[in-house]
Amino acid sequence: MTNASISTEHLDRFAAIVGDKYALRGEADLAPHLIENRGLYHGSSPLLLKPGSVAEVSAIMKLATETGTAIVPQTGNTGLVGGQTPREGKSDIILSLERMNRIRDVDPVANVLVVDGGAILAEVQKAAEEHGRLFPLSLGSEGSCRIGGNLSTNAGGTAVLAYGNMRQLCLGLEVVLPTGEIWDGLRRLKKDNTGYDLRDLFIGAEGTLGIITGAVLKLFPQPLGHQVAFAGLNSVEDALALFNLASSLCGASLTGFELMPRFGVEITARNIDGVRDPLETAYPWYVLIDISTSDSAETAERMMNALLEQGFEAGLVLDAAIASSVAQQKALWHMRESMSEAQKPEGGSIKHDVSVPVSKIPHFMAEAEEAVMAAMPGARICAFGHMGDGNIHYNISQPLGADKDAFIARWHEMNHIVHGLVLAHNGSISAEHGIGQLKRDELATIRPAIEIELMRRIKRAFDPANIMNPGKVVRLDP
């Protein structure tokens, strides 16, 4: 199917569903929807639809089924694997949920919030806060990413340790199926064992099984105590030992445990406005520790002090700074969250979003460093991430003075090296970003054939015409 293959008559019929104002065909209107953040993909599309209701989404999918037209759902367009980008050289129609951005209901007594699929994450956090509650999902892109995308990629972020990823934060869904039928699964129940788990099948399916138009999300009490500290360490081994100490000491109150290398702190201080290294001396590794407690502010304070004290005594913590104000807490998190951005002025960056069992992180980091440096002398490794989840963003900045294009051309080669080590530890090549276009073919080679076959059967069962975000996650036509 090429661009030319959708007739103007068909496009007009799609446009009529949402009205001309919300059916855009101009190059300038479409342009930002055809590319993604990293510039890895540039898709093509004849039409961008912005439906205003579930009924309109349903009508679009009915017509898509009738006419065999591929539809790509898009929310904040912040995905990192090309899952939301239309295919190159095809005529996928883009369905944007940006107008469907309402908070439908907040019930602080039941601790639930009901939203449209197009609601912006930061707005959801705000709505929870206004009702004295916490919605804990937190990501670098929270100002623009939207709930439908967060659910479709089973987003993780910085508070997974205590609250889980998006799958654990969702009680119910409303989904428009490829046929246009609407599945109303907007349940608000903590326990409901009534048949196959459709909810978790749509979560993480990256829009290939249906379009998430609404969701029931879990809220939590706002913690009374919150402590953030930044500590300098000698090694990743020591970071693991400190993490185990923190887990035992804090249990579910340990809300964040992030690992950062010296190079990451250095470039963040250099390249990001307002960020400075909070410690006087340089250390090879750092951790950011976040503790939240429900009963009192004192409990968090006591926990953090005990953790750092025991960490010092055990020789794990070399120096540490505890944030003494909310502004300082935000500044520490800002440093961590800007680390990917800080790589940009340093030239090209080859990225990995991997996980291994937490206890294997030191081995993996040592092996990966050796292999990467052997393959690419001068590479500047910026491996940081959610240590407590076993999830490392293993980024590699180009050697000083290297040619950016030549460096980026080695993307797959470096992926192959890093992913090989990840797989040797039974790890994951996509801890939180998903598969999209970027990792679809690689996934098919590393997973047992029966696993890919089961995914294909699910895809066919839900989307027999293969019109729902085709070509993402799993390829139907081998």
Report the residue number, 111 or 415, with the smaller CB distance to its own copies.
111
Q: Are 176 and 57 in contact (CB under 8 A)?
A: yes
From the CB of 406, what's the least distance to its own copies, in Å?
30
Q: Are 318 and 271 in contact (CB under 8 A)?
A: no
From the CB of 58, what's the least distance to its own copies, in Å?
12
Report the residue number, 206 or 367, with the smaller CB distance to its own copies.
206
Q: Which helix (H) or strand (E) holds 331?
A: helix 326-337
From the CB of 87, what's the least distance to its own copies, in Å?
18
From the CB of 304, what's the least distance to its own copies, in Å?
11
From the CB of 464, what's the least distance to its own copies, in Å?
9
Report the residue number, 224 or 373, with the smaller CB distance to its own copies.
224
Report the residue number, 245 or 321, with the smaller CB distance to its own copies.
245
Count CB-CB contacts under 10 A for residue 142. 20
Cα-based distances in Å from 175 to 22, 55, 113, 182, 183? 21, 11, 17, 6, 5
Separation between Cα atoms, residue 115 and residue 217, nearest integer Å: 8
Separation between Cα atoms, residue 425 and residue 417, nearest integer Å: 13
Report the residue number, 110 or 272, with the smaller CB distance to its own copies.
110
From the CB of 215, what's the least distance to its own copies, in Å?
15
Report the residue number, 380 or 425, with the smaller CB distance to its own copies.
425
Q: Which helix (H) or strand (E) holds 211?
A: strand 211-218
Separation between Cα atoms, residue 477 and residue 440, nearest integer Å: 13
Report the residue number, 277 or 290, with the smaller CB distance to its own copies.
290
Beta-strand relationship, 133-134 and 220-221 = antiparallel
Lookup result for tokens 């342009």: 31
Report the residue number, 25 or 188, with the smaller CB distance to its own copies.
188
Query: What 8-state DSSP symbol labels residue 167?
Result: G
Amino acid (one-letter) located at 454: L
Backbone conformation region of residue 180, classed left if phi is above 0, alpha if psi is from -120 to 50, else beta: left
Q: Which helix (H) or strand (E) holds 322?
A: strand 319-322
Q: Are 15 and 26 in contact (CB under 8 A)?
A: no
| CA dihedral of residues 396, 398, 403, 406 (deg, nearest 10) | -20
From the CB of 359, what's the least distance to its own copies, in Å?
4
From the CB of 109, what's the least distance to its own copies, in Å?
4
